[in-house]
Copies of this chain bind each other. A is one copy, B any other.
Amino acid sequence: MIRYEYSENGYQGWGAARGRFQDEFLVRLFRDMLRIRLIEEEIERRYHQDQMKTPIHLVIGQEATSVGCCAALRKTDLLYSSHRTHGNYLAKSGDLKAMLCEMHCRINGCVGSRGGSMHLIDKSVGMAGTSAIVAGAIPIAAGSALTAQLQGLDRVSVVFFGDAGTEEGVTSESLNFAALKKLPVIFFCENNFYSVQSPLATRQPPREIYKWAAGYGIASVRVDGANVLAVYEAVREAVKRAREGGGATFIEAPVYRFRAHGGAGDDSHTGYRDTAELKAWEEVCPIETYFRFLADAGLITIAQREHMHAEIMLEVIEAFDYALASPNPEEKDLYAHIYSD
């Protein structure tokens, strides 16, 4: 039984996009999504080797949200994230080697092996903070936005979270405060219909999340999370609103994760969701649908894609090699940064 359906139109009607955007930009979005996919597939492939002693929450199937969003941000804009960090980190130009070192518990990991995959942070590119606690980063992003407002910066803060994140009381508190102060913040909800293995219907009454958010008196939209251009456009508008003093925006993007909540591989066989549901969503894979769109528009060929693929894999393998060759922490490293001076 398919419980949650894709209800959008893919790239139908997006033909005009080619004129609106530069070709390079359109191709870059594809490459960015493909890169995330390939990195995650490689992580997945190697995960059973137990060299990466860290939980993983793959975004395979959800690449368009991170890429579409970050394409609309400046490097100085700040991105906050949840447990599902990989896509956010990579799309915000986080360093791949530092990420893989972190996942391999190496001292030169992006947070020195203190955080693991749920804490991929790289402040130099605006990947500003994550939380392993559902909704934990949401008020923090509001505080980040308050800072920009108090300091008169035109910086935007964005926070990613899942559908379950909307059930935590602190999310309501954050929406209320953001609306009250007209904060330059974007609440980006990736609604993948599940929290671990719990379907939305066991956690929320029938209602549309973005409409609920609108009840706080902020702009709130739903956008096709499988369509990188739609995401880009929605975020661009929200960013414009934020920079112009128009306040917060809530974005709900229906997406689907192709893998288990955590770890490698799919777990649909355990029965909490129907494999047919997964299959249906794989049909609207954000990478493949976009590839077809680009190919139809004559912007990319299969050969070009293959070349791109090889190029990325080279980078990925090198990064893995680098991580595996990197040193482990020593005992003294445990004692650094307990307090800040």
Contact = CB atoms under 8 A, between A and B. Distances in A.
Contacts of A202: 180
A263 interface: no
Contact of A215 (B171, B206, B211, B218): B211
Contacts of A216: 205, 207, 212
A120 to B, nearest CB: 27
Interface residues of A, number: 23
A28 interface: no
A74 to B, nearest CB: 27
Interface in A141-188: 167-173, 176, 179-180
Contacts of A204: 176, 180
A203 interface: yes
A210 B296 CA distance: 50
Interface in A7-31: none
- For A167, A170, A176, A204, which residue has the most chain B Cβ atoms within 10 angstroms? A176
Contacts of A217: 205-207
B180 A173 contact: no
A202 to B, nearest CB: 8
- For A172, A207, A217, which residue has the most chain B Cβ atoms within 10 angstroms? A172
Copies in the complex: 2
Interface string A89-101: 0000000000000
B171 A176 contact: no
A168 B173 contact: yes
A293 B278 CA distance: 64
Interface in A285-323: none
Contacts of A169: 168-173
Nearest to A248: B205
A200 B207 CA distance: 27
Nearest to A179: B205
Contacts of A168: 169, 173
Given A171-B172, A172-B172, 18 more contacts: A168-B169, A169-B170, A169-B172, A169-B173, A176-B204, A176-B205, A179-B205, A179-B207, A180-B202, A180-B205, A205-B216, A205-B217, A205-B218, A207-B216, A207-B217, A211-B215, A212-B215, A212-B216
13 contacts: A167-B176, A169-B169, A169-B170, A169-B173, A176-B204, A179-B205, A180-B202, A180-B204, A180-B205, A205-B218, A207-B215, A207-B217, A214-B215
Q: Which 10 pairs from chain A and chain B are nearest by CB?
A: A169-B169, A215-B215, A172-B172, A179-B205, A205-B217, A207-B217, A212-B215, A169-B173, A180-B205, A169-B170
